[in-house]
Chain A
Amino acid sequence: MNRLEILFSTKKHHILNVYGTAGFPKLNSTLEMMRSLQECGADMMELGMPYSDPLADGPVIQHSNAIALSNGMTMQKLFAVLKDFRKEIHIPVILMGYLNPVLQFGFEKFCAAAASVGIDGLIIPDLPEFEFENEYGTIIKKYGLSFSFLVTPETPDVRVKKLDSLSSGFLYAVSASATTGGNTHVSDIASYFNRLQLLNLKNPVLVGFGIKDKNSFNTACRYAQGAIIGSAYIAALGKNENVNAATKSFLSSITG
C-alpha cells in the first residue's frame, strides 16, 4: 500500500489535508512549512506549484502565487527543495498546480521527478478528462502517482462516476461552484454530499473550497472522509512571520 492508501484505510474520518504554496511566504520557507504541518497534525498536504495565472483560485491563493514567483520559486527550485524531504516528512504529499508550468518542465520528466523524490500524487485542475485519457493518464500511472479529479455540485452523477473511475488516491469534491477561498456555507449543500455518498464511489472523498475553520471543517467531515483547507491557512501564514508559530496556532484552531 502507498502512503495515501495507508492513510485512508487507517483513518476513516476527519482527515485534515492542508494546502500551502511552495515559495510562500519566503522562498526558503517551504520545508519548514511542511515540517510544521506534519508536526501540528495535518494528515496530508498539498504543495502548490505557483503559477502566474491561477484561474480557479480566489484572491488569497492568487496573491500567494504571485509572492512565491516574485520570491523566485521555479519548478527546478521546488524539486531541489524536495530532494531529501522524505527523510523527515512521512505524511502523504500531493503536488497541486496548473498544467502550463508542468508542460514546459516536460510532463513525463515532471512525473519522474515527482515520483523519485517521494511525491504521492497530483492535482491539476485544468487537465480535463479528455486529455487525461488521451495522453497524460498513462504517464501519471507509469510513475505510480495518484491523480485526483475535481467534482462540483453541478457535476452530473454519470460524470462524477466517470471522474471517480479515472481518479486515484481520493476524489476532490469542491463544495460549491466557486474559486478558492469563497464564503461557501458547507451546510447548504447536504444534498450534494448525500448524492455523492449514494454513488458507491471507488475513491475516498475529500471536501475542499470554503473550508476555513473548525466549524466548516467538522461540517465537511460529516459528509466525507476529510477536508482540505487552503486559503484560510495561506491567510494565516501571511499574517505571521514565523511559519511554525502560524501553522501551530492555525491547526490547533481546527483540530483543538
Chain B
Amino acid sequence: MSISRKTITLKKMNSEKSYTAPDKHGYYGQFGGAFIPEMLYRNVEELRSKYLELIADINFQRELNLLLHDFAGRPTPLYFAERLSNQYNANIYLKREDLCHTGAHKINNTIGQLLLAQRMGKKRIIAETGAGQHGVATATVCALKGLDCIVYMGEKDMQRQAPNVARMKMLGAKVIPAISGSKTLKDATNEAIRDWINHPDDTHYIIGSVVGPHPYPDMVARFQSVISKEIKEQLKEKTGTAFPDYVIACVGGGSNAAGAFYHFLDEENVKLIAVEAAGEGLKTGKSAATTVLGKPGILHGSKSLLMQTADGQVVEPHSISAGLDYPGIGPLHAHLFTNGRANFLNATDREALNAAFELAKLEGIIPALESAHALAGLKKLFTEINEHAKKRETVVVCLSGRGDKDLETYMQHIS
C-alpha cells in the first residue's frame, strides 16, 4: 500500500513539468535569474528568502483576501460579451479587471507587495510606472497604509498619461520624471532601481510587472494569479467547464497575461494567446513586439528576450500604449514563447485603436489602450466566420484596464 502510493507520487512529480514556478535560481528554462549589482543584493536576497513563507502565512492570506475583496472590489466579473461574440462567431467572455479599484489589474500586485513590505519593516515605497496604472495602484495602497510613496515615470509618459499623474499626486505620492534614455517605462525602471541602490535600509521596490530579478517575476505572477483563479471558478459556473479554449491577454512586461494564464499554464488544452504591441508596424523601427524583434539579453536584472542592437544596446521601443512601451518581456513569457506553450501575436497602434472603438460601440465598455491590443487579437484569430463550425469556441479576453486615462489619445483618433 505504502509502496504504491510512493510510486504514484514519484510518477506525478516526474510528469509535472510545471510552467508556473521558476527553479531556485529564478530560471524559467533559460530565462530569468538575478543579474544584479552587489548594492542590491541584500534587499533582493531578503525578499527571495522570505516571500514564499510570508505569502503562505495564514494571516497574510486573510489580510490579502480581505483587501482584494473589500478594497479592490474582487472578484471582478466574467462578462459574456454577446454582441462581440456574434461579431467573431465565438463565445467571448471578458475578465473585467477594468472594474478593479484604480481601474486595472495592477492593484492585485500592489496590495500583495505592500503587505509584504510592511512585514519586512519597510517604511518607504518606490515604484516605476508606464501608463501610470501601476503608479496609481502603488500610490493608492501607500495612502491606505500610510507609507511614503515615490513613483518614477518617464517624462514622455507623464505627458501622455496626465490624468494618472494627477491621481498619484492627489493620493500623496511624489512623481519623479525619468529624463534619461527614451523617457519611458524602461528609463523609469532604471531610475527606480537606482533609487533602491541609494536607499538600502528602509525601502521596498514594488515592481509592477513580471520582470526584474528573481523573485520578482514569480512573486508578481503569484499576486496576479487571482485573475485566472477567478476565471476558472466563474467559467465553471457559467458553462459547466473551468477551461476555455483560448485565453487572450496583452503583453508589455506581461503581468496581466501572467495572471490570466497562471492557472491554465499546465492545462495544455487551453490555448494561451499573448498580444504584443507592434507599434506603427514590425518593420518601421517603431515597435514594441519583443518576441519578433528581440534576442536573449539582460535588462533590469533578468535574462529574457530583449529588443537590442547588434552591439547589445537596448533599443527604444514604441507603442501608442504607454503600458506596452517596453523593450523586453518577463522571463516566464520568454519561456512560454520559446517552448511554444503560448502563441504570440502582435497588433499595431491602428489595430488596437480599432478594437477599442469596436468594443465601446458593441459592448459599452471603453478599454485601456493596453487591453485593446488583446481585443485586437480576436480579429486575428477569428477573422473567418465559419458558419459550419461545430461549436463556437470559448474565449476569455483579459480586459486588463479601463480607458479613462486614454481618452485624449482616443479623441485624437475618433472619426
A residues near B, CB below 8 A? 51-53, 55-56, 58, 62, 66, 69, 74-76, 98-105, 125-128, 130-131, 149-152, 154-155, 159, 163, 174, 177-179, 182
Which residue in chain A gives the minimum CB-CB distance to B181? A52
Tell yes or no: B163 within 8 A of A by CB: no
B25 close to A (CB within 8 Å): yes
Judging by beta carbons under 8 Å apart, are B298 and A126 in contact? Answer: yes
Q: Which residue of the partner chain B has the closest CB to A105?
A: B312
Closest to A102 in B: B312
Q: Return the contact of B312 from the options A75, A151, A174 (Cβ within 8 A).
A: A75
Shortest beta-carbon distance from B178 to chain A in Å: 11
Name 22 interchain pairs, CB-CB below 8 A, sorted by A.
A52-B313, A55-B37, A55-B190, A55-B197, A55-B300, A56-B39, A74-B311, A99-B35, A99-B298, A100-B299, A100-B314, A101-B312, A104-B295, A126-B35, A126-B301, A130-B34, A152-B38, A152-B42, A154-B39, A155-B42, A177-B197, A179-B39
> Shortest beta-carbon distance, B394 to chain A, in Å?
41
**Cβ contact within 8 Å between B37 and A150:** yes
- Residue pair A125, B37 in contact (C-beta under 8 Å): yes
A205 CB, min distance to chain B CBs, angstroms = 14
The residues in B between 15 and 56 inclusive whose CB is less than 8 angstroms from any CB of A are 25, 33-39, 41-42
Decide: A104 near B312, CB < 8 A? Known: A131-B33, A154-B200, A177-B198: yes
Segment 287-303 of B: residues with Cβ below 8 Å from A: 295-301
Interface residues of B (CB under 8 A from A): 25, 33-39, 41-42, 180-181, 186, 190, 193-194, 197-198, 200, 295-301, 306, 308, 310-314
Q: Which A residues are CB-close (under 8 A) to B297? A: 100, 103-104
Contacts of A75 in B (CB 8 A): 311-312
6 interchain residue pairs of minimum CB distance = A104-B312, A101-B312, A177-B200, A125-B37, A150-B38, A52-B313
* Residues in chain A near residue B197, CB distance under 8 A: 55-56, 177-179
**With contacts A51-B313, A126-B35, A127-B35 known, is A58 near B194, CB below 8 A?**
yes
**Chain B residues, Cβ within 8 Å of A99:** 35, 298
CB-defined contacts of A76 to chain B, threshold 8 Å: 311
Contact of B37 among A53, A56, A104 (CB under 8 A): A56
Q: Which of B33, B35, B39, B300 contacts A150 (CB 8 A)?
A: B39
A182, B198: Cβ atoms under 8 Å? yes
Identify the closest chain B residue to A74 (Cβ).
Answer: B311
Chain B nearest CB: distance from A231 CB in Å?
14
Q: Decide if B313 touches A66 in the complex (CB within 8 Å).
A: no
Known A52-B313, A53-B190, A55-B194; judge A100-B308 contact (CB<8 A): yes
Contact between A100 and B306, CB atoms less than 8 A apart: yes
Question: Least Cβ distance of A167 to chain B in Å?
Answer: 11
Bound-state Cα–Cα, A66 to B306, Å? 19
Residues of B near A155 (CB, < 8 A) are 38, 41-42
- B222 to chain A minimum Cβ distance, whole angstroms, is 22
Report the separation of the CA atoms of residues A127 and B41 in the bound assembly, to the nearest whole angstrom.
12
Interface centre among B39, B42, B296, B306 (most CB of A within 10 A): B39
In the complex, are the beta carbons of A154 and B42 less than 8 A apart? yes
Q: How far is the CA of A178 from the CA of B40 in the complex (A)?
A: 9
User: Given contacts A56-B197, A100-B299, are A128 and B34 in contact (CB under 8 A)?
Assistant: yes
Q: Closest approach, in angstroms, between the C-beta of B230 and any C-beta of chain A?
A: 36
Set A98, A103, A126, A179: member contacting B198, Cβ < 8 A: A179
Give Cα A56 to B186, complex, Å.
15
Residues of A with C-beta under 8 A to B33: 130-131
Determine if B312 and A55 form an interchain contact, defined as CB atoms under 8 angstroms apart: no
